[in-house]
Structure 1
């Protein structure tokens, strides 16, 4: 009886001890699992931090690039607007300079009492002024219109100077003057320079040749040659003796070309040089003008 009770007690103690050990093991296992879960979560968190930082950096770079692109676009638009305003201002300065020279010629006819010549001159002058007024607000004009205006101007100067010079305008066959468009009123001051400073007044007939051709796929080239070998003195009837006049023509053209280069990203420019023979004697002047064009 005693042995049976002892055996039963030992069994109960064993079961109780086993249960406690099992509970302890379960608790330890649960703790290990929780620890592992925490480690896994921590590892995932550490792994996600670089991803989040990298993604945030990419978003920041994209945002900054778009912001800088928008800023550059606005800056470019502002510069274009400013360049166009400067271009209009320069054109408005060139026109009075050009008109003054024509009025000077009309004054010559009045001075010499040649009413018929004055009437003929006024008709051509009105045609020329119409061209100036129509093109002063235009960004580009056809080469045909610009050449026609140059011919009109040279005819006016021929009348004023009693046919002291001859002129010829040659357009290369590769150019369609109706399709090519160039900035207006840029060639006239160089023609004026050849007439006023390049044509001799010593009895020798002056000659002016104007040659137009394609320089490259973005520019046309105009070469103006004359046979003048000495400066021309002002005549007594020249209005610049009595009217204050600054030599603006070439100076304004230089400024306008700089603005055009900014506006069109072009390489407009000009070069003045002497024409020499083999003996290094001056035969005349040559002006090479490069202008952007559009089809």
Structure 2
């Protein structure tokens, strides 16, 4: 009996050792892959593509590459901060809308209207707080077969940000893999607002079979929270 227990224990110890070795190799491989995908390499590649597009007189392509690079820098350097300047959040949102405009500009049935004011005052906001509403509008409000529209407005006055997103909606396809996950991003934003801006925000969402409307009023601070 003692011999059997010893052999079983030795076998378990050996299996644990094999797993630890495999895990170490997997971690090393993951670190190696991460080291290969260097952000500076990606940015340099984008700069090269940007220069090539300009040489070929592809101004729209160059513009798209430049905006994509700006968005990547935002995601890499500012997305993980607790707060960023409102101007940077607005700039990221503008780049996103412009990139989407390049994709939908050839569709006559799609109307995109924006009125995004420049915010001169130095105000701070949690990153990626506004963009989910715009992403949701493009994800669920655009159809290449039906008339669609998106309207985005942003206004800042007296320490308050007023943000509206209004878009058409269309019946979800049965084969849409994400149809059961719609609203997850908005619920996440709702929770973040409740946690980060208690008593300092108002979020109204109205939905009908034909349209989706979001209104956000947010009181912002002139100093960054540490």
Regarding TM over 0.5, the answer is yes
User: Shift of residue 121 of structure 1?
Assistant: 4.3
TM-score, length-scaled by structure 1: 0.44
Q: Deviations over 1:241-292 (max 9, x none)?
A: 9xxx89642232122122203xxx44335221148xxxxxx76322012333
Q: Deviations over 1:196-232 (max 9, x none)?
A: 1123433535232323234xx6642211122x14245
Q: Write the mapping of 1:69-88 to structure 2, written as runs, cut at 5 A.
A: none
1:190 partner SS: helix
Counterparts of 1:255 and 1:154, CA distance in 2: 24
Q: 2:186 aligns with which of 216, 227, 250?
A: 250
Give the direction of change, closer, same or farther, for the CA distance of 1:234–1:118 in structure 2 (3 Å limit). Answer: farther
Q: 1:225 aligns with which of 137, 161, 166?
A: 166
Structure number with the higher helix fraction is: 1
Q: Write the mapping of 1:140-155 to structure 2, written as runs, cut at 5 A.
A: 140-155=83-98
Counterparts of 2:206 and 2:218, CA distance in 1: 18
Alignment size in residue pairs: 160
Q: Write the mapping of 1:82-101 to structure 2, written as runs, cut at 5 A.
A: none
- Counterpart of 1:168 in structure 2 is 114
1:189 partner SS: helix
Counterparts of 1:246 and 1:273, CA distance in 2: 15
- Counterpart of 1:192 in structure 2 is 135
1:124 partner SS: helix
Structure 2 segments unaligned to the other structure (5+ residues): 1-57
User: Shift of residue 182 of structure 1?
Assistant: 2.0
Give the direction of change, closer, same or farther, for the CA distance of 1:130–1:233 in structure 2 (3 Å limit). Answer: farther
Counterparts of 1:146 and 1:235, CA distance in 2: 34
- Counterpart of 1:291 in structure 2 is 218
Give the direction of change, closer, same or farther, for the CA distance of 1:170–1:123 in structure 2 (3 Å limit). Answer: closer
Give the direction of change, closer, same or farther, for the CA distance of 1:248–1:206 in structure 2 (3 Å limit). Answer: same
Kept after mapping to 1: 8 A contact 2:201/2:219: yes
User: Shift of residue 163 of structure 1?
Assistant: 4.7
User: Shift of residue 126 of structure 1?
Assistant: 2.2
Structure 1 segments unaligned to the other structure (5+ residues): 1-115, 276-281
TM-score, length-scaled by structure 2: 0.56
Kept after mapping to 2: 8 A contact 1:142/1:178: no
Structure number with the higher strand fraction is: 2
For the pair shown, the structure with the greater C-alpha radius of gyration is 1
1:192 partner SS: helix
Q: Write the mapping of 1:25-104 to structure 2, written as runs, cut at 5 A.
A: none
Kept after mapping to 2: 8 A contact 1:267/1:291: yes
Counterparts of 1:234 and 1:153, CA distance in 2: 28
Give the direction of change, closer, same or farther, for the CA distance of 1:163–1:178 in structure 2 (3 Å limit). Answer: farther
